[in-house]
Amino acid sequence: MMLSNTFCHIKGIGHKSEKRLWDSGVLGWKDVIEPTGKSPVALITRSLVTGVEKSLEQLQRNNPGFFTNTLSVTEAWRVFADFRHCVAYLDIETSGMSGSQEEITTISVFDGVNISYYIRGHNLGRFAHDMDKYRLLVTYNGKCFDLPVIRRLLGVPMDQAHIDLRYLLHSLGYRGGLKGCEKQLGIDREELDGLDGYFAVLLWQDYIRNKNHKALETLLAYNILDAVNLEPLMIKAFNMKLQSTPFEQKHSIKTCPTPPQNPFHADMETVERLKLKYMDSYH
């Protein structure tokens, strides 16, 4: 997969050097470890061989962090296909307060098959244990928001390898936050279209103050959709990045999985009531 064609994580090799290797016929790690008579000997240095040997060892150890620690945030996409079997797409919602009043209200995790969700006051304590099985995280703006907030408020290290789609999509020319990127890339939020992080705060407040369980269900539907939609965004970004390499045909992900059914649905009566109550915030 793409990782075994990658050299720019090795010390002393940048994008220009990597392209020079590709152009000369050194397309992957195998060409370094088992060079043929046509291999450009001058380009296969001892440090390159050492770097490839170490990379092979870490790949066999199922350690994506070795690669994301040395790749830039816009190149971390290269680990995705090799570690897709142990990925977690993650998104959190908070109370919207600051300082000591800040709280995580819900967390949603999707692993490509199963959806898990965690609610403050219910099962948030299980989150740390459940995250142990994942080696790779995919978020949108998790580097600046989700992961630091989880570390600070829950004390969970969140030291898995990480791909932040905010930086990746920005490098491809897509801006406007998660919802804006989804629209530009043809992902439809249907009944949840137009809701945002501020509205998620209002839903939590309505649940706490009015014991409105429909507000909680709407919040969970929204939060889970944020996590689930990270998978098609990741796949689209991965394929677009491949277009600038010689490996588009070889490594592109041909089909995007059918999204799972969201276990929760938005209660439109609650949505409309809150929109009407806080109408000025939506103009």
In a domain, 70, yes or no: no
Instruction: Report the pLDDT value the prediction gives residue 44, as an integer from 0 to 100.
Output: 86
Residue 72 in domain = no
- Tell me whether residue 184 is in a domain: yes
Look at residue 282 in the predicted model and tell me its pLDDT. 54
| Residue 3, pLDDT score | 97
68 falls within a domain? no
Q: Tens digit of pLDDT for each residue in 111-149?
A: 999 999 999 999 999 999 999 999 999 999 999 999 999
Check whether residue 227 and residue 272 sit in a common domain: yes
Give the pLDDT mean for 165-194: 95
Same domain, yes or no: 229 and 124: yes
Same-domain pairing of 126 and 252 = yes
CA distances to 66, 188, 190, 191, 271 from 265, in Å: 39, 15, 11, 9, 11
Are 52 and 180 members of one domain?
no
Extended strands (E) in 95-142 = 104-110, 115-119, 136-139
Tell me: do 36 and 144 sit in the same domain: no
Per-residue model confidence as pLDDT tens digits over 235-251: 999 999 999 999 999 99
- 97 part of a folded domain: yes
CATH number, domain with residue 138: 3.30.420.10
Q: Does 74 map to a domain?
A: no
Q: Are residues 214 and 258 in the same domain?
A: yes
Q: Could you give the CA distance from residue 255 to residue 251 in angstroms, rounded to a whole number?
A: 12
127 and 231 share one domain: yes
pLDDT exceeds cutoff 80 at 195: yes
Confidence of residue 280 (pLDDT cuts 50, 70, 90): low
Give the start-end residues of each E strand in 122-192: 136-139, 161-164
pLDDT in tens, 155-167: 999 999 999 999 9
pLDDT for 101 equals: 82
List pLDDT tens digits, range 45-55. Answer: 899 999 999 99
Q: For residues 154-183, give the mean pLDDT.
A: 97
The verdict on 182 and 138 lying in the same domain is yes
Query: CB–CB of 120/103 below 8 Å?
Result: yes
Residues 222 and 90 reside in one and the same domain? yes
Residue 147: predicted pLDDT: 98
User: Does 71 fall in a domain?
Assistant: no
Give the count of domains, the chain.
2
**pLDDT at position 133:** 95
38 and 132 part of one domain: no
* Complete edge-to-edge strand list for the sheet that includes strand 136-139: 115-119, 104-110, 87-94, 136-139, 161-164
Q: Are residues 135 and 57 in the same domain?
A: no
Mean pLDDT rounded to a whole number for the chain = 94
Domain region containing 18: 2-61
pLDDT of residue 281: 60
Query: Does residue 266 sit within a domain?
Result: yes
* Closest alpha carbon to 260 in 93, 80, 112, 130: 112
Do 232 and 278 lie in one domain? The reply is yes
Q: Are strands 87-94 and 136-139 parallel, antiparallel or unpaired?
A: parallel
Asked whether residue 219 carries a pLDDT value surpassing 80, the answer given is: yes
pLDDT at 96: 87
Structure confidence at residue 210 (pLDDT): 96
